[in-house]
Structure 1
């Protein structure tokens, strides 16, 4: 029996990298995409050493529809037989009231979090439809479930991910394709450093005196969803640190 293949976007760090490690541990072949190809290649080599898994790396900017289509359609045929798609690539930029927001920040979030997810899905999922099997796992955020001060556009993009996940599930129901959304609360990754554009001090303060989720926690949730029997679909998961109740209410000790 041939090994299954998982396609993970944003796989060079954080939740994407953790998903790669977890699915490699479980015997999947890995199709890994990110802009930082050096990190991907190092990760692929390490996972080959640790788990004996095969990996194919793609230097890919999900915001470019033509690049996504061309890159995917030019890889070897067997790598295009994706069993699980983890739409993980995403980011936040800035934390400003709507009337002071940076339009460039808005564009980057919309282009990555919404359009990038759509471009990848539109390219990969027709193969799943043809085979009448597959599983899409979209990584959302607690920001998909509530709106917090100065989160405006980022929250809007993650609400869109939630809505698109629901729409995908309806459209793909008769194709026997599973669709799952995973919505984490605070996860200690590069997320805050990216949001604050390299301000490491401000980013570190986000996780001060709190035990946040780890990227591995979300990867394990993705694996749980992917490993359910054929008749079981995990529709929606909201995962929070024990010390966090909502996007803005947490205890720090």
Structure 2
């Protein structure tokens, strides 16, 4: 028996971190298919530009996911037509620095933990009860291959993405019987503003990451999310790991003397 794919025209999608990269691409992908989208982030000018491009199908709101009360206020203030959220894409996150643990700025670690861990937890905690009450939905978390594969300087960033992976798997168990699906998307090298932010605006360092490599694009990742959320309702993609063809797993790090 064939089961139908879900119609994105029935979706009301909340996207955090929608001011660039994955979030921007996701907002455009879902609106193009007829969904209603709530795009959030901290850079208001970027949100306004996105609204100008996408029109009435998009509702934008400034949001700092590190504050649970900020997310609750957002949900309580949504206009008619955007209140019945059934897809939550917890995309907000970042990496800062690539130095060894003994040399990093502890403030960078704190920012990554507060955003990638607590921001995710806040987003899910605030939105999950409503989806359950409405009979189902889909939580998409944005992980990384760094949650599985360590690399020098990946310390806290990799740790936060390992948390995202395990949180999503545990959440999958928690919501059994509620018709809420949970998917962790785990990208590898994607050429977005990610490295520019990681290196705090140093364009030379950021561009060197992708030198000689055809990395994935934000649209590639948005397409994997869209596919997972539109699968027939009885199908759940637990984890989806995607890499550029030129990227693979590293060898053991051996210090020879």
TM over 0.5: yes
Aligned residue for 2:172, secondary structure, equals helix
Q: Deviations over 1:108-152 (max 9, x none)?
A: 100100100111111111101111210011111111111111111
Structure 2: give runs of 5+ residues left out of the alignment: 1-6, 253-257
Q: 1:247 to 1:105 in 2, by over 3 A?
A: farther
Structure 1: give runs of 5+ residues left out of the alignment: none
Indicate whether 1:70 and 2:73 are aligned: yes
Q: Which structure features the higher share of helix residues?
A: 1
Output the CA distance in 2 between the equivalents of 1:218 and 1:142.
13
Match of 1:240 among 237, 240, 243: 243
Output the CA distance in 1 between the equivalents of 2:235 and 2:10.
21
Output the CA distance in 1 between the equivalents of 2:17 and 2:212.
28
Name the counterpart of 2:59: 56
Match of 1:188 among 181, 191, 196: 191
Output the CA distance in 1 between the equivalents of 2:184 and 2:75.
23
Contact (CA 8 Å) 1:143, 1:247: kept in 2 or not? no
Contact (CA 8 Å) 2:68, 2:126: kept in 1 or not? no
Indicate whether 1:84 and 2:91 are aligned: no
Indicate whether 1:41 and 2:48 are aligned: yes
Contact (CA 8 Å) 2:89, 2:141: kept in 1 or not? yes
Q: 1:247 to 1:201 in 2, by over 3 A?
A: farther
Name the counterpart of 2:35: 28
Contact (CA 8 Å) 1:80, 1:124: kept in 2 or not? no
Indicate whether 1:138 and 2:141 are aligned: yes
Shift of 1:196: 0.5
Shift of 1:80: 2.4
Q: 1:64 to 1:248 in 2, by over 3 A?
A: farther
Name the counterpart of 2:15: 8
Output the CA distance in 2 between the equivalents of 1:115 and 1:138.
13
TM-score (norm 1): 0.93
Name the counterpart of 1:199: 202
Output the CA distance in 2 between the equivalents of 1:176 and 1:65.
24
Output the CA distance in 2 between the equivalents of 1:58 and 1:7.
11
Indicate whether 1:116 and 2:123 are aligned: no
Large movers: runs of 4+ above 6 Å: none
Name the counterpart of 1:215: 218
